[in-house]
Chains A and B, each alone.
Chain A
Amino acid sequence: DARVTQTPRHKVTEMGQEVTMRCQPILGHNTVFWYRQTMMQGLELLAYFRNRAPLDDSGMPKDRFSAEMPDATLATLKIQPSEPRDSAVYFCASGLSTQGSGANVLTFGAGSRLTVL
Chain B
Amino acid sequence: GNSVTQMEGPVTLSEEAFLTINCTYTATGYPSLFWYVQYPGEGLQLLLKATKADDKGSNKGFEATYRKETTSFHLEKGSVQVSDSAVYFCALSDRTGYNKLIFGAGTRLAVHP
Residues of A within 8 A of B (CB): 4, 31, 33, 35, 42-43, 45, 48, 50, 55-56, 91, 93, 95, 97, 99-111
Residue in B34, B46, B51, B98 whose beta carbon sits within 8 Å of that of A97 in the complex = B98
Q: Is the CB of A31 within 8 A of B99?
A: yes
Which residues on B sit within 8 Å (CB–CB) of A110?
41-43
Q: Is the CB of A108 within 8 A of B45?
A: yes
Q: Is the CB of A109 within 8 A of B96?
A: no
Assembled-state Cα–Cα distance A31/B104 (Å): 21
Q: Is the CB of A103 within 8 A of B32?
A: yes
Which residues on A sit within 8 Å (CB–CB) of B92?
102
Which residues on B sit within 8 Å (CB–CB) of A50?
98
B6-48 Cβ-contact flags toward A at 8 Å (1 or 0): 0000000000000000000000000110101000011111100
